[in-house]
Structure 1
Amino acid sequence: MTAEPSRPAGRMRASDADREAVVEQLREAAAEGRIDLCELDERLGQALTAKTHAELAPLTEDLGPAVFGSEEPLTLKGGIHGAQRTGRWKVPPRVVAYGGMGGVRLDFTQAECRLREVEVEVDAQMAGVVLVLPAGWKADTDALDLGFGGLKDKTSGERLPGTPVLRVTGSCGAGGVVIRHANLRERRKQRKESSR
């Protein structure tokens, strides 16, 4: 089997997360007064219809380093002891979670997220993956393979305006995927920490 020739980075197809990252950078630049509203409208239109990284790059090259394609995904591996991301953390455009034997828990309730869409790729394996969402966030699981463990979505499914959508893909494996809101114990703990 022969390896495919590598494709120049600029010809890589842009994802929704790539376009959203550029849109966010443009909005921040307008808020800081680095581009005016007419230029913002023009660049936003081009960003939302861009198909490749080469089309996105010129829209932000005078504003600082490109934000798409450069940020590594957040990868959590449950291994034997498990892994989690909780408390205050910045949500990247892409998250990858491998459940392993110990499981993975991603708690978004106190996370900083400026994106409208986040790609969450799961491989639940034996112990599964748990996603804890704030009220008003929505998870799109249409592309998720239910595997043996299946999916338990305990959220309302209703999205509040301005909140992100998590596009959950991958496999539920044997351990399954659970999507829920914070339980009473978790909410009490968060209130106690925020009052310090």
Structure 2
Amino acid sequence: MRASHDDREAVVERLRDAAAEGRIDFDELDSRLELALTAKTHGELELVTADLPMPQSSTGAASASAAENPPPLVLKGGISGASRGPGRWEVPGRVVAHGGVGGVSLDFTRAECRLTEVVVEAYGETSGVTVVIPDGWVADIGGMDPGFGGLTDKTTSARLPGTPLIRLTGAGGIGGVVIRHPNKRERRKLDSR
């Protein structure tokens, strides 16, 4: 049977979990992710995860978990690019950004966030990912692999009470990943609103 985008994304999640648990290393994760994202059939997807344990979840636990933990926001740059913000939007506990060819812009400056921590998985790929966080928010970049494109952190370490921590993970790829506070032009736009 032919695989859908959701089927591929489920396998990608399973591979990331396996890497987080130490079952596969980051080089193997990269090669398996490439195979999963280009898989056309369920059989090809099954080969990528054949040596990994099945995720354990009961139907009741899964539905309760889904209610408590909304699905991650996934942005794929593709050819034209993708962005979220700077308008109002509700921040989930996890955001996944794939720069692709067009790049991804993720702007939290006017976002509504009730969480103490948000995980942002950024994969720079070809054109990179830019993450803009408000003043007073801080970032933990310890989980990032800078790759060829690098990681640029232009944030401060002064965290205001009640603001979330952005835990940045992923890989810079060729395009790199930038995390910063708003620039002068963006601040003027925010002030005018």
Letter in 2 for 1:80: I
Larger Rg: 1
- What residue is the counterpart of 1:8 in the other structure? 56
Letter in 1 for 2:71: E
- What residue is the counterpart of 1:20 in the other structure? none
Q: For 1:141, what is the secondary structure of its paired residue?
A: strand
User: Post-superposition shift, 1:6?
Assistant: 3.3
- What residue is the counterpart of 1:37 in the other structure? none
Q: For 1:9, what is the secondary structure of its paired residue?
A: coil
- What residue is the counterpart of 2:189 in the other structure? 189
- What residue is the counterpart of 2:9 in the other structure? none
- What residue is the counterpart of 1:117 in the other structure? 117
Letter in 2 for 1:67: E
Q: For 1:149, what is the secondary structure of its paired residue?
A: coil
Q: Deviations over 1:51-104 (max 9, x none)?
A: xx79xx6xx9xxxx8413xx1110001111111111111000000000011110
User: Post-superposition shift, 1:179?
Assistant: 0.9
Q: For 1:166, what is the secondary structure of its paired residue?
A: strand
- What residue is the counterpart of 1:79 in the other structure? 78
- What residue is the counterpart of 1:88 in the other structure? 88
Change over 3 Å in CA distance of 1:116–1:127 after alignment to 2: same
Letter in 1 for 2:181: H
Fraction of identical pairs, as percent: 57
Instruction: Tell me the distance in 2 between the aligned counterparts of 1:146 and 1:187.
Output: 28
Letter in 2 for 1:6: M
Instruction: Tell me the distance in 2 between the aligned counterparts of 1:85 and 1:130.
Output: 11
Taking structure 2 as the reference length, the TM-score comes to 0.67
Moved beyond 2 Å, runs of 4+: 1-8
Structure 2 unaligned residues grouped into runs of 5+: 1-46
For the 8 Å contact 2:123–2:177, the answer to whether it is kept is no
Which runs of structure 2 are paired with 1:12-31 in the superposition (5 Å)?
none
Which runs of structure 2 are paired with 1:61-80 in the superposition (5 Å)?
66-68=67-69, 71-80=70-79
Question: CA RMSD for the aligned pairs?
Answer: 2.2
- What residue is the counterpart of 2:149 in the other structure? 149
Instruction: Tell me the distance in 2 between the aligned counterparts of 1:7 and 1:123.
Output: 24
Q: Deviations over 1:89-126 (max 9, x none)?
A: 10000000000111101100100000000011111101
Letter in 2 for 1:73: P
- What residue is the counterpart of 2:97 in the other structure? 97
Q: For 2:68, what is the secondary structure of its paired residue?
A: coil
For the 8 Å contact 2:118–2:165, the answer to whether it is kept is yes
Instruction: Tell me the distance in 2 between the aligned counterparts of 1:5 and 1:187.
Output: 48
Instruction: Tell me the distance in 2 between the aligned counterparts of 1:80 and 1:7.
Output: 33
